Amino acid sequence: MVGLGTLVLAVIAGGASLFMAWTIGAGSSGSTPFAPAVGAHALPTMRAAFLVGIFAFIGAVMQGTSVAEAMAAGMIRGVSLTPLAIVVALSVAAGLVVVGIFTGYPIATSFTATGAVIGVGLGLGGIPAWTKYQQIGLLWLLTPILGGGTAYITTRLLQTELLPDRYSIPTLGGVVSVIIVNIQFPFLGTSPEGESVVSWFAAHISISPRAEIVIISLIFALLAMTLVRRDLQQDAIAAQRRFLFLLGVIVAFSAGGSQVGLAIGPILPLYDSLAIPAVAVLIGGGLGLLVGAWMGAPRMIKAISQDYAALGPRRAIAALIPSFAIAQVAILYGIPMSFNEIVVSAVVGSGFAAGQARVSQGKLLYTTVAWIGSFTLSILLSYLILRVLRFVPP
């Protein structure tokens, strides 16, 4: 028998979770994926906002479990989050995001959500999950290097005259296809985690497992390269725009899978105690992303697409490919990531390669300090608020 207090806390926590999902959808995660395509005149703004909401919703439902489970139980050891702790964590995280919106501070939801969950976990007397923190910290630190470095190399690759577009862009299409066919999808296979396209095909042929993965991945890469090159031969400009559009689709999908866990992860234990299935919570979070994208993304897309228009199709392609790859790595290992950090790093890297690195060092420092400050503040606030509410001396 579930008490009335638990039900009230579940409603409050659900409201805070939906608000966070809406904020994520309306913010950079809802605007960044298709902004390059809008800037390159591949599709209009309203259609981009509509599509990013749809594909973010699909990604949330299909890939949201990994990060959500990490947020639910992977941040602290020895204790389970109580309903009160869940409400405190979500309220602190959502509150800091609201403060950032109204004050203009670049607050990343991933930093506030992760810090808040760690804070309430410590407040309950839990043990820090140091191994998980090392994974998170390593990816957070490596993202500017990997994202910016990959975008830099990709931009240089697209600019060199030694490798024309008819070769470089199909090659990138092949790389993207290899990543896609190795992603696990829940509708493939019989296990709850699902299977990748490669493993699904490999189950129907009889050679060594490693050879199967390599051979099937190469087949899909060659197929993608052939299709992209044929498209470029017909109309190079239109083909670049279509490639950008497809990148927008997979980045929006990845954003949904990566970011929805930040909003719904903390409430999974509470809703599980109420016998509400995880897939229903994922659908709710995905709908929050969708509505946020439809309501808030058009304005953001217009603003960001002006920057991407200045980037041009090649630099936009170079920025989106590492963004997609890093987001998928984060999903694979259940690591909460800031999509702001991913995309900003890639854009800066492509800017350096193009010789247009007029990036304000002061702005980058300001953003970094805001991210670190919001992470630290969320830990302290959630810890202190929970201790006060529980009337337990520290």
Q: What is the pLDDT of residues 88-142, one digit of tens each?
A: 898 898 888 777 767 666 677 888 999 999 999 999 999 999 999 999 999 999 9
Query: Residue 117: inside a domain, yes or no?
Result: no
Confidence at residue 117, expressed as pLDDT on a 0 to 100 scale = 93
Residue 349: pLDDT over 80: yes
Query: Residue 380: inside a domain, yes or no?
Result: no
The dihedral built from the CA positions of residue 138, 140, 146 and 148, taken in this order, carries a sign that is negative
Distance CA 117, CA 377 (A): 12
Query: Residue 104: inside a domain, yes or no?
Result: no
Higher pLDDT among residues 119 and 340, named by residue: 119
**Domain encompassing residue 166:** 4-75+129-359
Single-letter amino acid, residue 124: L
Distance CA 352, CA 152 (A): 7
Residue 382: pLDDT over 90: yes
Distance CA 90, CA 263 (A): 8
Cα 277–chain centre separation: 23
Q: What is the pLDDT of residues 157-173, one digit of tens each?
A: 888 777 788 888 899 99
Confidence at residue 227, expressed as pLDDT on a 0 to 100 scale = 93
Cα 34–chain centre separation: 14
Nearest to 184 by CA among 331, 70, 326: 331
Query: Residue 368: inside a domain, yes or no?
Result: no
Query: Residue 310: inside a domain, yes or no?
Result: yes
108: phi then psi, degrees, rounded to nearest 5: -95, 130
Q: Which H/E stretch holds residue 76?
A: strand 76-77
Q: What is the mean pLDDT of the chain?
A: 83
Query: Residue 46: inside a domain, yes or no?
Result: yes
Q: What is the pLDDT of residues 242-274, one digit of tens each?
A: 898 899 899 999 989 988 999 898 888 888 877
Query: Residue 137: inside a domain, yes or no?
Result: yes
Task: Give the Cα-Cα-Cα angle 172, 248, 369 (nearest 5 degrees).
Answer: 95
Distance CA 266, CA 192 (A): 21
Distance CA 17, CA 64 (A): 14
Higher pLDDT among residues 376 and 340, named by residue: 376
Query: Residue 384: inside a domain, yes or no?
Result: no
Structural domains in the chain (count): 1
7-16, 155-164, 199-208, 288-297: which is most confident = 288-297
Residue 154: pLDDT over 50: yes
Distance CA 307, CA 239 (A): 21
Distance CA 280, CA 357 (A): 45
| pTM for this model (two decimals) | 0.87
